[in-house]
Amino acid sequence: MNKPERIKISDLPVFDAAEYLKSEEDIAIYLTLAIEENDPAGLADALGTIARARGMTEVARASGLTREALYKALRPGSHPRFDTIARVCGALGVKLVAQPSRT
């Protein structure tokens, strides 16, 4: 039996979810999944990914934030204030919605 070829992690392509967020529905599903994780830093990271998919400069302009502030607020591991999240959501044309939790 032949031994399977080993693949180095460094040889794998980098995955960027922003490349796959093509439609409003894609963005809504991605954001909903991030919200369901109940992780504020994960939500900020997901919003950053969506903003990159849409164009950071345009999202910054529409949200009233500078590009630098937007990158800082939405970097992985950040904990942005709710008003920042709300401004970015508004700029992205999405809204956060409350619904009964599944039990």
Sign of the dihedral through C-alpha 23, 28, 34, 37? negative
Report the distance separating Cα 4 and Cα 16, nearest Å: 27
User: Rounded CA gap, 74 and 54, in Å?
Assistant: 14
Per-residue confidence of the chain (103 residues) as pLDDT tens digits?
Answer: 678 888 888 888 888 999 999 998 999 999 999 999 988 889 999 999 999 999 999 999 999 999 999 999 998 888 899 999 999 999 999 988 888 877 6
On whether the CB atoms of residues 74 and 44 are closer than 8 A, the answer is yes
Short-list 13, 36, 34, CA closest to 51: 34
Q: 85 and 99 in contact (C-beta within 8 Å)?
A: no
Q: What's the pLDDT at 103?
A: 60
Nearest to 61 by CA among 52, 70, 53: 70
The whole-number pLDDT of residue 9 equals 85
